[in-house]
Structure 1
Amino acid sequence: MGRIAVIGAGMGAMAAAARLAVAGHRVAVYERTETYGGAVRRFERDGFAFDTGPGLLTLPAVWRDLFIKTGKEPLEDCAELVQVDPSSRHLFADGTQAALPNASRAGVVDALDEALGTGAGGRWGDFLVRAREAWDRTRRPLLEEPLWPNWPVLAEREPYPAVPHKRLLRTRRAATLAEIGAWELRDPRLTALLESHALAHGLDPRVTPASAAVLPYMEHAFGTWYVRGGMRELARAVYERCLARRVEFHFGTEVTGVLEKDGRAVGVEVAEGSSHPSGRDGGLVAEADHVIAGVRPARLRELTQHRLDDDGDVRPDTGSRPRRFTVLLALRGPREAGAVHRTIVHAPDRTAELDSLLSPPSVPARPTVTVLRPDDPALRPDGDHESVVLSAVVASEAGQLPSERREALADELVTAAEAVIPGLRERILWRETEDGDSGGVSAPSLAAGEGRFLHPANTTRLPGLYRVGGWSHPGGGLPHAGMSGALVAGLIVEGPEFRGSQ
């Protein structure tokens, strides 16, 4: 079989590598850092451990499928997955709060009726029914198949259904998430609940198509999961599965270019001092029949001078994308009984928060803050301590945030979390901040929106060169990264006529 060179050891890249190795290919992964996992990172200090990337998992079937297709041991034998219940608790701007059961429509309806008033749960439940219709219409073309050559059909068609309007005696179709909130949910707290799913991916609900209703639906339908020991354990399991399938990893090895010959990608060139031993014309190279790039679009453009897309190809929004800012808290004192794994503290001024995402304001609005408190002994030195992760999506700024801004923003997140964790400030032993990559948060691919919410196809105009990971089809997020790996492997094994799993 063929030789495969993979640039980067992110989750999507490793998913592709494992599948291709099982298919008989010789796979080598070149990663410029010293570890695997991409955005699925971990920070450790003084016996505390923290996930600094994704903290929870939806749609675990994607990763279960990877383990089924690449070996005898299922995912559950390699990593312990547990359902998070309640799935989340929400603290709204008016002081009300609601805890939502995991993967239970009836339970969520009852919880919202009790917390927000009779009728609120019913409106949310009806919304989930319509969101399922959007999911059914888009699941296969957006997640399970390579991007269609006639992708504009996806860009033009809004899959979220129209809703009958009793007073107008006609149906009305929402074009954005904000319109769903205003027309169908009719409660600022339900609107905040809906829009928090978009904000988590750096999306402004005022311009995000209504098709993004699939984001809360995925969480509702397939549940919210945690990997015991931290989400980094999922990355470890995938890495070890790659090793078991004899995938080669070269860490500390920076790829400096994609080699081309006769109009085709034929390998990669790596920097001097890398771990790869072969050389040609004074440079270090790795020849390959196929090259898979698990890197950001700007980085891929640096690696090849070849034009990778046609004029008619997807043109996603390339403007400045919001970034994720994270505060890691080492706390003295045990986690109190009844503490919830995930709490979302909504912003006091939703409009100001959305406006602040567009550009760094002179006086930033307090963002919506996610508080993660996993009850996991592996993440703390002993039962008398607790590790907590606070995160928010904020406006992108050039380079890393200045130290004064970082500390001020960290204080804002801690202040928000005080509503969740009793005596928080007195319990803090130390804190660390993680400033997300200035490249911004990558959202999942979405239908409608004139194609601005789609991602470039996994294939490129350069034969033999493929894209994988959160910045290619089908977009960002752990489930989508795994799907991109499956799509790339299918395209290489079965050829350009591959149409996804049946």
Structure 2
Amino acid sequence: MKIAVIGSGIGGLATACRLASKGHEVTVFEKNDSPGGKISEINMEGYRFDTGPSLFTLPELVEELYGAAGEKVPATFAYKKLDVLCKYFFKSGENLIAWSDQQKFTDECVEKLGEDPSNVTRYFKSALLIYKITADIFLFNSLHKVKNLLKFSVLKSLLQVHKIRFYKTMHEDNKSSFKSPLLIQLFDRYATYNGSNPYKAPATLNVIAHLENNLGAYFPEQGMYSIVKSIYELALKKGVRFNFNSLVTSIDIKNNKAVGVSVGDEKFAFDSVVSDSDINYVVNNLMDHPQKKRIERLEPSSSALVFYWGVNKEFPELDLHNILFSGDYKEEFTNLFQEKTIHNDPTVYIFVSSKMVKSDAPKNCENWFVMVNAPSNSKENWDELIRATKQNIINKINKSLKTNIEDYIEYEKIASPITIEQNTLSKGGALYGNSSNSMFAAFLRHPNFLKSVKNLYFVGGSVHPGGGIPLCLASAKIVANEIPAS
């Protein structure tokens, strides 16, 4: 079959590889001049920055992709397991190292935060249990086919579904798990991994702790964008064609069947179409979608405000991943989702890939990816909000690191919800499509297909099973399994 893939994010690339390996003739249409979607890179003034996701978990899913394509993982795609998952700096002055080694991390929590060690051990066991129960139901199967729900492994999981605590919020669950407010805040942060609010998102999302703390976090030796480069090269090897600078303007449907795509006035005929575009963009721009009103009512996920700083100084107190926490986390999320603004004491994430990839910055310098969570764009005064937030970030960094960071910034580029929307077509710059701020959020994500339109499929972070590299790879596998070999 001739299959069109709209978008070359991780989900689109992985789907293209799988379908080409099954004998299909695959063409990818990408609006930008390079692949990657939200995962891109900036090269400027001797600095290189990864611009999208910075955390790499479940690397075996990439290896499985190569296996499905009948290929070996190339030596150029090498990665390391991190000894330090993240360094945390709290407003109250405490600092905490999240070690990959669970005993070391537990000891750190006991020594620095006075936490009961059994609480930490019990929490990680609980996260593992949530993963075991949810993996077959939510992550690696379509929720929208009865035959999938009748599998023995799924039925077994459904009998234990009360154990995933979907009826509690993440914060409520974390508060009942730990006595240290700082440790509660640390694990509440995982809600931001899919753009949600821990005071509203279901405790089921505490499964994220399993992926990072039980299974471990990794980092590609050549940076995050090397994941895109590797999968893109695999796609080329399998015969996938790429049309860059080609913005798809419609999904062409005839007699309730996808028959092709249009790029401007030019129409291209295909037997099937796979969309890796943000689902909100799809329903508003590419087709007459039967669920348009329902999708538009869903709450968007958060976006981000990012400062890419070339810093002509090394900071040994920082690691690859670093968090400078807000002193009032609940107020920060109230600002983010209800008041649609950025708190004046935001949590600041600093990602320094040059800690691992020395060539990402000039000698004795560092490349800082400095991010705060931001609301999706709804006509805020971004010029003023960026100015004020930048100063708040600088003040926080100076206090936490006892420095004057402005003296060392020699290069700056800024990404806001506006530029994220322009570059990725995600509505309002929302990073994960819709938020998971409800009890049944997993069931509300858009399915990987439509019963009303044949031969049309959906992958990527805005649809089932969700955002982030592992889930986008999972969505690609789900869709590829729906399309029979040629």
TM-score w.r.t. length of structure 1: 0.86
Tell me, yes or no, if structure 1 residue 456 matches structure 2 residue 446: yes
| Deviation by residue 1:214-256 (Cα, 9 ceiling, x = unmatched) | 0111111221111223211111111111111110000111111
Distance in 1 separating the partners of 2:301 and 2:470: 21
Distance in 2 separating the partners of 1:439 and 1:34: 19
- Equivalent of residue 121 in structure 2, options 107, 119, 125: 125
- Equivalent of residue 471 in structure 2, options 469, 473, 480: 480
Q: Per the alignment, in what secondary structure is the counterpart of residue 89 of structure 1?
A: strand
Matching residue of 1:82: 80
Q: Per the alignment, in what secondary structure is the counterpart of residue 466 of structure 1?
A: strand
Tell me, yes or no, if structure 1 residue 107 matches structure 2 residue 104: yes
The one-letter code of the counterpart of 1:397 is: N
How large is the Cα RMSD of the aligned pairs?
Answer: 2.9
Matching residue of 1:222: 215
Distance in 1 separating the partners of 2:261 and 2:363: 49
Q: Per the alignment, in what secondary structure is the counterpart of residue 130 of structure 2?
A: helix
Tell me, yes or no, if structure 1 residue 397 matches structure 2 residue 377: yes
Tell me, yes or no, if structure 1 residue 299 matches structure 2 residue 284: no
The one-letter code of the counterpart of 1:196 is: R
Q: In the alignment, is the contact (CA less than 8 A) between 2:166 and 2:202 conserved in 1?
A: no
Matching residue of 1:185: 178
- Equivalent of residue 456 in structure 2, options 458, 465, 471: 465
The one-letter code of the counterpart of 1:383 is: K
Flag the 1:37–1:177 CA change in 2: closer, same or farther, 3 A. Answer: same
1:137-152 equivalences in 2 (<5 Å) = 137-149=133-145
Tell me, yes or no, if structure 1 residue 254 matches structure 2 residue 247: yes
Q: Per the alignment, in what secondary structure is the counterpart of residue 429 of structure 1?
A: strand
Distance in 1 separating the partners of 2:166 and 2:244: 50
Following superposition, the deviation at residue 448 of structure 1 comes to: 7.9
Flag the 1:73–1:50 CA change in 2: closer, same or farther, 3 A. Answer: same
The one-letter code of the counterpart of 1:182 is: K
Distance in 2 separating the partners of 1:476 and 1:118: 32
Number of paired residues?
467
Distance in 1 separating the partners of 2:438 and 2:391: 38
Distance in 2 separating the partners of 1:98 and 1:58: 21
- Equivalent of residue 334 in structure 1, options 311, 314, 322: 314
Q: Per the alignment, in what secondary structure is the counterpart of residue 463 of structure 1?
A: strand
1:66-465 equivalences in 2 (<5 Å) = 66-74=65-73, 77-102=75-100, 104-119=101-116, 121-149=117-145, 159=161, 161=163, 175-271=168-264, 283-309=265-291, 318-336=298-316, 339-360=318-339, 364-374=343-353, 375=355, 376-380=357-361, 382-399=362-379, 402-418=382-398, 419-420=400-401, 422-436=403-417, 437=420, 438-442=428-432, 449-451=439-441, 454-460=444-450, 461-465=452-456
The one-letter code of the counterpart of 1:82 is: K
More helix by share: 2
Following superposition, the deviation at residue 118 of structure 1 comes to: 4.8
Following superposition, the deviation at residue 446 of structure 1 comes to: 7.0
Structure 2: segments with no counterpart, 5+ residues: 421-427
Distance in 2 separating the partners of 1:32 and 1:340: 35
TM-score w.r.t. length of structure 2: 0.88
Flag the 1:29–1:72 CA change in 2: closer, same or farther, 3 A. Answer: same
Following superposition, the deviation at residue 443 of structure 1 comes to: 7.2
The one-letter code of the counterpart of 1:132 is: L
Following superposition, the deviation at residue 334 of structure 1 comes to: 3.5
Flag the 1:123–1:198 CA change in 2: closer, same or farther, 3 A. Answer: same
Distance in 1 separating the partners of 2:292 and 2:345: 41
Q: Per the alignment, in what secondary structure is the counterpart of residue 267 of structure 1?
A: strand
Q: In the alignment, is the contact (CA less than 8 A) between 1:158 and 1:211 conserved in 2?
A: no
Distance in 2 separating the partners of 1:202 and 1:326: 15
Flag the 1:421–1:459 CA change in 2: closer, same or farther, 3 A. Answer: farther
Flag the 1:320–1:157 CA change in 2: closer, same or farther, 3 A. Answer: farther
Following superposition, the deviation at residue 490 of structure 1 comes to: 0.9
| Deviation by residue 1:68-92 (Cα, 9 ceiling, x = unmatched) | 22243315x2322122221111112
Distance in 2 separating the partners of 1:157 and 1:94: 43
Flag the 1:294–1:340 CA change in 2: closer, same or farther, 3 A. Answer: same
User: Identity of aligned pairs, percent?
Assistant: 23
Q: Per the alignment, in what secondary structure is the counterpart of residue 398 of structure 1?
A: coil
The one-letter code of the counterpart of 1:366 is: D
The one-letter code of the counterpart of 2:283 is: R
Following superposition, the deviation at residue 285 of structure 1 comes to: 1.5
